[in-house]
Chain A
Amino acid sequence: MSDLNSNIPEGELTTKWTKYKSSVPLVNPSNKRTIEVIIVGSGLAGASAAATLAEMGYKVKCFCFQDSPRRAHSIAAQGGINAAKNYQNDGDSVYRLFYDTIKGGDYRAREANVHRLAEVSANIIDQCVAQGVPLAREYGGLLDNRSFGGTQVQRTFYAAGQTGQQLLLGAYSALERQIGMGKVEMFTRHEMLEVVKIDGKARGIIARNLITGEIERHFGHAVVLGTGGYGNVFYLSTNAMGSNVTAAWKAHKQGAYFANPCYTQIHPTCIPVSGDHQSKLTLMSESLRNDGRIWVPKKKDDLRKASEIPEDERDYYLERRYPAFGNLVPRDVASRAAKERCDAGYGVGASKLAVYLDFKANTERYGRIEAAKAGNHNPDKETCMRLGTEVIKAKYGNLFDMYAQITGENPYETPMRIYPAVHYTMGGLWVDYNLMTNVPGLYCTGEANFSDHGANRLGASALMQGLADGYFVLPYTIGAYLSKEISVKAIPTDHPAFVEAEARAKGILDTLINIKGTKSVDHFHKRLGHIMWEKCGMARNEKGLKEAIEEIRALRAEFWRDVRVPGSVDELNTELEKAGRVADFIELGELMCIDALNRNESCGGHFREEYQTEEGEALRDDEHYAYVAAWEFKEGVNFELHKEELKFENIKVAQRSYK
C-alpha cells in the first residue's frame, strides 16, 4: 500500500535510535566548515537547530519574518514541556510517554518517531537547565512537575505560565551566541517565498527583505523549514497574527508532499469570542485543568450567575463521562464534550458558547493545606479561600491576569468562561524518520512537519517536539545527507534555477499589487476562516466538506480578481505580506477539506459526524485508514493522494478510552 519510504531503521523499537546514531555517517569537521545550511524559522525547532548545527561547525543562515528571533510564536506556549524523567516516582518511563502519545494521537502517528521523541525528552530538560532556563522548582531545590491532559502521571516541567517563553529564550540565547561568534548569519524581517531546486535537490531559497522589498537569493547545501503551523487558515486561532503556511506551501508546490492536513487541534480552554472585531483568540493553559473543574448548569438556559447555582445543580460533565481521567482527558475529547453541551443548550455567558472552568474546590483544598502548615487545623472557609487564592496566584497568576485583562472579569471570584478554539495543526510537510521531506535536501521540523502527534497532540508535547527535532534529531540525521554532499561546492546564485525561482516569486508579488481590486486582504481571510470553521472545524461531514471545497474555489477566483493591496513592492508593505500568505491559505484550505473528505473515519482532531460511536466518541476505521495521507501538488490547484501505511508492532491498537 505504501508508496513512500519512511526510512525507519530496522531492529527493535527501543534500540533503533541508539543504533542509528552510532552508525550514521559523519561529516569531518573541516568539511563542515564549507557546508552551508539554510534554516527558515527561529522558533523552538528553528533556533535550536540553527544553534546546534552551528556548534557542530556548519555554516548556518537563519531567517525569520519578525524583527528578532526572540518573537517566534513558540514564545506564547504557556503550560509546559513533557519529559519522561519519573522525578515524581509515579511510574513514568520512556515507554509510558511513548504509549500515552501514540494513544493520545488516536493511533495515527509513527511508532519509531514517537519512541525517539520520548527517548530524547529527558535530555531536553537537562539541556535547558544547563542553559539557565529557570524552570519551576520545589523548596528542596529540585524541579517541579504538573499534570496535563491525556496522562495519569506528572511529567510536565514548567516555568509559571510562561514555559514557551523561557524555553524559546534559552534556544534564542544559544542562537545569539553563535551569531555573535559569526557562525550563524541571521536574517530578520525576511520572508521565504520560494524553494530553489537543482537536479531535484533543495539548494536554496528566495527570500524577500521585508523592509526594502528586495528579493534575495540564498544558497544552501540543505534547507530546513521550521516555520510552525497553519492554524491561521481559520482566521481566528490562538496563533500569532503572522503565523502562516507560505514556506511549507511553496515547498509543497515544488514537490514536497503535504501530510494529514485535516488534523487540526481544537484547544478546549480558550477565552470565548466577544465580537466581530476579534482578531485572534487567547487560550488558557491546559495546566489550569489540573486545578480547575469544568461544568455547566444542569438546567437548560440557566440565566443565574455561576455563584448562584448550587452544587447539585451543576453538571461536571467530564468527570461524569470520563471518571478515570476526569478533567484531564485529552484536548480533542474535552473540546468535543464542551461543544456537545453547548449544542445541547447548556452553554453559559451571553453567547451561550462557553462552559465554566472553576477553581473554587481546589482553592479551598490548597487553603486548608496552607492553614495546616501554619498550625491551623480547623480553618474557616474564608481563611481557606484567602490562603488558597495565594497558592493559585503563585501557580497561574499571569494567566488569571490575562483573563481579567481580556474579559474585564475577575477569575479569582467567578469561574472562567471558556470555549474551544483552533490551536495547533498536526498536519504539515511529510517527512521520513530523518525529518527529510520527499524532496532530497529539504528538511522540515517542529509543528511544520506532520510527524509525531498523530491525529491529536497531547498538551506539553509541542515544545518537546520542537526542541527534540532541533537539538537532538536533525543535527544527527542531516549529517547522513550532507556526508554525501561534501564535494558539492557552493552553487552561484546566478544559476538558472535561482533566476527562475526568483521570477516566480516576483511574478506573484507583482500580480497581487496590480489587481487593484475592491476588497481588503482581511476581508478574504475572514471569509475563508468562516468556511473552514463552519465546515472543516470541530466537526465535519461529507455534505459540508463538498460545499466548502466549492466555496473555497470560488473564493480563490474572487481573491485573484478583486483583492486590493495598497502600496508598492519595494518597501515595507504589510498588506502585501498578508496577501501572499492568504493566497496560500486559500489553496491549503481546499486541501484540508479534500483530506477531511477522503478520511471516512473519525480520529483525534478529525471528527466526521458520520463516524461516531453510540456514545458520541470518535470511531476509527483502522482497516482502511491506518495511513498517513500525503498529498502531492499537481498543476493548477490539484492534489494526488499517496499513502504511508502505519504499522503498530509494539502497541496494541484499541478503541481509545479515558473512562
Chain B
Amino acid sequence: MSTGNMNLTLKVWRQKNNKTKGALVDYKVSDISPDMSFLEMFDVLNEQLINKGEEPIVFDHDCREGICGMCSMFINGRPHGPKDLVTTCQLHMRSFKDGDTIVVEPWRAKAFPVIKDLTVDRTAFDRVIAAGGFISVNTGNAQDANNLPIPKIQADAAFEAAACIGCGACVATCKNASAMLFVSAKVSQLAQLPQGQPERYRRVQSMVAQMDAEGFGNCTNTGACEAECPKGISLENIARMNRDFYSAKFVSEEDI
C-alpha cells in the first residue's frame, strides 16, 4: 500500500547476464509518495513484478543510508540522479514530478562489466586498493596515537579525501571511464598523513599501474567526476596524485 499520488513511467535497463544483450523496458508505477526514496519506489515496482509472476529488477543496494556506496543507478543520464551530493538511496521521490518519465541504466564502463540488469562488477576498485592503497603496518605494537600529533587542518584534509565511498559514480560519468578521482582520493588521504610517507611514491606508482591494467581510461580534466561525486571528493586530489606520480619518477630507487 502506498501513500502518495505520483504516477511515473520508468525505462529500465534489463539484461539477463553478461553474455546476453540488454534493452530498456518500460514500466508504469503509480501511487508513489514523495517521501519514498528512489530505491523504495523500485521496491514497489519489484513487488508489482513479482505479483505478476515476472522477475524483479536486480539492483545493488545495502545500507540505504548513503554510506556503503553500493547503490549505483544512472538516472536520467546522471549517476545517482538529479540531485547533487546524494547517493541513489538518499534520493527521494520529491525530486520528481507526477507524470515524469525516468530512464534508469547501470554504470557504464569497460572496467565495470554488467552482471545483471543494473548490477555491475566493481571489484576492479578492490584490486587497485590491494595494489597499494594502504599503510603497511601489522597489528600490534603501534605507538601511542598521541605520540604522532597531526595538525587539525592536515587531518581534516585527509578525512575529506577518505570520505570516498567507492561507489564508482566518478567512473560511470567520465567520458573516458577514468578512475582517477577514486584512486587519487586514497593516494591523497595517505599522502597527507605522516604515517603514509614511507610508501608514498611506491604507493602512487603501484595504484596507477593497477588502475591502467584494469582498463580504466585516462583523465582529461573534464571534472564530471567531481560534479557527480556524492561525497564531494575534490579534483584537487587528482592534482595531488599527479604531482606525486611525477615526483616518483625523480625519486631515486632507494627512496622508493
Contacts and interface: CB of A to CB of B under 8 A. Distances in A.
Contacts of A520: 47, 50-51
Given A566-B54, A572-B58, A125 B151 contact: no
Contacts of B122: 67-68
A179 interface: yes
Interface in A273-316: 274-280, 282
A11 interface: no
A581 B126 CA distance: 27
A138 B153 CA distance: 9
Contact of A127 (B115, B125, B139, B165): B139
A418 to B, nearest CB: 15
B13 interface: no
A566 B57 CA distance: 11
Given A66-B70, A176-B133, A564 B62 contact: no
Nearest to B146: A142
A176 B68 contact: no
Nearest to B162: A134
Nearest to B125: A68
Interface in B99-133: 115-116, 119, 121-123, 125-126, 129-133
Contact of A405 (B3, B43, B92): B92
Interface stretch (A71-79, A146-154, A253-261, A545-553): A71-79
B166 interface: yes
A513 to B, nearest CB: 12
Interface residues of B, number: 80
Interface stretch (B189-197, B213-221, B248-256): B189-197
A66 B62 contact: yes
B150 interface: yes
A76 B92 contact: no
Interface stretch (B32-40, B73-81, B170-178, B233-241): B32-40
A235 B85 CA distance: 28
A282 B148 contact: no
Contacts of A67: 60, 70, 121-123
A87 B139 contact: no
Interface string A552-566: 000000000000101
B195 A575 contact: no
A575 B56 contact: yes
Contact of B69 (A71, A128, A138): A71
Contacts of B65: 76, 280, 282, 402
Contact of B155 (A131, A136, A169): A136
B92 A406 contact: yes
A526 to B, nearest CB: 10
Contacts of A405: 66, 86, 90, 92
A276 B2 CA distance: 6
Interface residues of A, number: 80
Contacts of B40: 277-279
Contact of A129 (B50, B140, B148): B148
Nearest to B116: A572
A92 interface: no
B142 A71 contact: no
B39 A140 contact: no
A567 interface: yes
Contact of B159 (A66, A69, A141, A166): A166
Contacts of A55: 138-139
A128 B142 CA distance: 9
A126 B145 contact: yes
Interface stretch (A157-165, A362-370, A619-627): A157-165
B247 interface: no
A567 B14 CA distance: 14
Contacts of A408: 35, 92, 94
A564 B137 contact: no
A73 B63 contact: yes
A408 B2 CA distance: 19
Contacts of B123: 67-68, 188
B135 A131 contact: yes
A188 to B, nearest CB: 6
Interface string A233-247: 000000011100000
A572 B115 contact: yes
Contact of B195 (A132, A139, A159, A472): A132
A556 to B, nearest CB: 20
Contact of B139 (A51, A137, A140, A274): A51
B7 to A, nearest CB: 15
A376 interface: no
Contact of B119 (A51, A140, A280, A572): A572
A127 B158 CA distance: 17
A59 interface: no
B35 to A, nearest CB: 5
A17 interface: no
Nearest to A186: B126
Contact of B145 (A129, A277, A279, A402): A129
A383 B117 CA distance: 53
A564 B50 contact: yes
B142 A130 contact: yes
Given A68-B122, A76-B67, A277 B152 contact: no
A35 interface: no
Given A176-B126, A176-B129, A406-B92, A137 B58 contact: no
A279 B43 contact: yes
Interface string A82-94: 0001010000000
A125 B43 CA distance: 40
Contact of A240 (B1, B43, B62, B159): B62
28 contacts: A68-B122, A68-B126, A71-B63, A85-B146, A87-B146, A131-B135, A132-B135, A132-B158, A132-B190, A134-B162, A141-B151, A141-B155, A159-B162, A174-B139, A176-B126, A176-B129, A176-B134, A177-B134, A180-B132, A186-B126, A275-B35, A279-B37, A279-B39, A408-B92, A472-B139, A522-B43, A522-B47, A564-B50
Given A241-B63, A276-B2, A277-B43, 12 more contacts: A67-B60, A129-B142, A129-B195, A130-B145, A132-B189, A137-B150, A137-B152, A240-B63, A241-B62, A279-B40, A475-B139, A572-B115
What are the 8 closest A-B residue pairs judged by CB atoms, nearest first?
A: A141-B149, A180-B130, A173-B134, A130-B142, A126-B142, A134-B159, A129-B145, A137-B155
